[in-house]
Amino acid sequence: MKVKALVWMGIKTEKAAEMEQFLQNVMGLPLTRHGHDFTLFELPSGDKVEVFGPDGTNHFAPDSIICGFQVENIHQARQELVQAGIELVGPLGEERPGGYAWQHFRGPDGKLYELAYDPQRS
């Protein structure tokens, strides 16, 4: 597997509103989308920061941060994780258009991480 970049960060927190305000007003991250217990910030590089409130997603433990690693081939990377005995969490996620895809997995430390494939970024 070839990891190309660190491209995504997910933050699950009981203080989602406070984190959203901090990221937008103090850190200056551009707000892209806001919904119930979910906010997306997208940096000029294309990297994403997502904030999840308590009801935002069921994969993340409360008060956790998850990082996404960009890979060249997500299907091959998934196979390599399985061959290494790493637990995949949930199905392969795909977002159309553009072919962006992701896969959550549990690292040897028991925490969640993500593989990401983004054909818009080389």
- Residue 122 — very low, low, confident or very high, per pLDDT cuts 50/70/90? low
Type and span of the H or E element at 35: strand 31-35
pTM of the model: 0.79
Give the CATH number for residue 22: 3.10.180.10
Q: Are 118 and 72 in contact (CB under 8 A)?
A: no
Range of the domain at 34: 3-117
**50 within a domain of the structure (yes/no):** yes
**48 within a domain of the structure (yes/no):** yes
**64 within a domain of the structure (yes/no):** yes
Q: What is the pLDDT of residues 19-77, one digit of tens each?
A: 999 999 998 999 999 988 899 999 988 899 999 998 877 677 777 888 999 999 999 99
Type and span of the H or E element at 102: strand 100-106
Cα 89 to chain centroid distance, Å, stands at 13
Q: Kindly report whether the peptide bond that precedes residue 97 is cis, defined as omega within 30 degrees of 0.
A: yes
pLDDT of residue 115: 94
Number of domains in the chain: 1
Q: Assess whether pLDDT exceeds 90 at residue 97.
A: no
**122 within a domain of the structure (yes/no):** no
Q: Are 43 and 109 in contact (CB under 8 A)?
A: no
Q: What are phi and psi of 6, to 5 degrees?
A: -100, 110
**113 within a domain of the structure (yes/no):** yes
